Structure 1
């Protein structure tokens, strides 16, 4: 493995692991169940796959070059994050404050209910939320367009190298975000205690709301 590839691995790992909307959506979903958390994580990786594919195809350059198109994506992303934030805040308000059986959360995620229609519906919803939260992030095309070319050695064909770098980003996401979901589920007995769960719901809701608000302010000021 060459030095540039090692350096890119470190940069990409930091980029993927940086707390943000993706992280908040995965944690929020994992509070519901392990299955929902992993589904949201896979959805985030799917969104990254779209961004990397656009960057490789050069379509991301079009998005960045057309202000109206970029602004539309930014507006959609901001509105969607505000929607997710509002849902999380509402869930925090509705969550009962009384102490409940701490084993109730993990039991709800037992394999026995895996095929229940409600569980499958929640999984699909989490997958969709993770995907949309990532794919509607307007910063991603700019990031990939500015980052990937820096790690293509001079004189080397750009397409194979860029495909390799893009694959590495998606692979890192497929490791990191499911790990976050599994960690949240592992700590489920404690995290699903009513007071802790309310605090986490409120925190992730506030984070998503702030991120969505920032995107909308940037659209207004553009």
Structure 2
């Protein structure tokens, strides 16, 4: 699921921009995985997933982000003729380019947080500290994602 989500972020950036735009989006999305791993390590993901209000807030933020992306894309494709060209709308993190978009689309994805709550515990040992174990798993996941997605961006 994570790989599919990252692939759907990579392809539009490669098509709309270049391979380097896709690689930057992939790196941003990979950093988003590190954010979720950090949240899981400190227990914030468990808190969000157990609280209906907090989960609803994360879902709403993600939905607002997707709507904003859609409206921004739609408005930027409209062409004006003459000297009164319409000013393009920009996301607050648009100056970060593909990296920022990849990062925020992953951080605001509640499914990524649920992966760290449902899959990661299977690989943890309760006799050892949890945070270093989550860090090692997250580093392995990021390495795999970066290798696969940058190798397939063409």
Instruction: Determine if the alignment matches structure 1 residue 171 to structure 2 residue 143.
Output: yes
Question: Judging changes above 3 Å, is the alpha-carbon distance between structure 1 residues 161 and 62 closer, same or farther for their aligned structure 2 residues?
Answer: same
Question: Judging changes above 3 Å, is the alpha-carbon distance between structure 1 residues 92 and 123 closer, same or farther for their aligned structure 2 residues?
Answer: same
- Residue deviations 1:107-130, cap 9 Å, x none? xxxxxxxxxxxxxx9783211111
Instruction: Determine if the alignment matches structure 1 residue 72 to structure 2 residue 57.
Output: yes
- Residue deviations 1:49-75, cap 9 Å, x none? 100111112111111122212111111
Inter-partner Cα distance in structure 2 for 1:88 and 1:25:
14
Question: Judging changes above 3 Å, is the alpha-carbon distance between structure 1 residues 86 and 26 closer, same or farther for their aligned structure 2 residues?
Answer: farther
CA contact (8 A) 1:39 1:123 kept: no
Inter-partner Cα distance in structure 1 for 2:113 and 2:94:
29
Q: Count residues with an aligned counterpart.
A: 140
Aligned pair partner of 2:24 in 36, 39, 42: 39
Deviation, 1:84, is 3.0
Question: Judging changes above 3 Å, is the alpha-carbon distance between structure 1 residues 47 and 154 closer, same or farther for their aligned structure 2 residues?
Answer: closer
Deviation, 1:179, is 2.6
CA contact (8 A) 2:30 2:146 kept: yes
Pairwise CA RMSD of aligned residues?
2.6
Question: Judging changes above 3 Å, is the alpha-carbon distance between structure 1 residues 45 and 37 closer, same or farther for their aligned structure 2 residues?
Answer: same
CA contact (8 A) 1:41 1:177 kept: yes
TM-score of the superposed pair, with normalisation by structure 1? 0.54
Flag structure 1 segments of 5+ consecutive residues without an equivalent: 1-14, 95-120, 184-222
Question: Judging changes above 3 Å, is the alpha-carbon distance between structure 1 residues 79 and 62 closer, same or farther for their aligned structure 2 residues?
Answer: same
Flag structure 2 segments of 5+ consecutive residues without an equivalent: 80-92
Q: Residue in 2 aligned with 1:142?
A: 114
Q: Residue in 2 aligned with 1:30?
A: 14
Superposed counterparts of 1:12-161, under 5 Å: 15-17=1-3, 19-20=4-5, 22-31=6-15, 32-87=17-72, 124-153=96-125, 155-161=127-133
- Residue deviations 1:147-185, cap 9 Å, x none? 1111124644433322211221122222223233x22xx
Deviation, 1:88, is 5.2
Deviation, 1:16, is 3.4
Inter-partner Cα distance in structure 2 for 1:140 and 1:179:
22
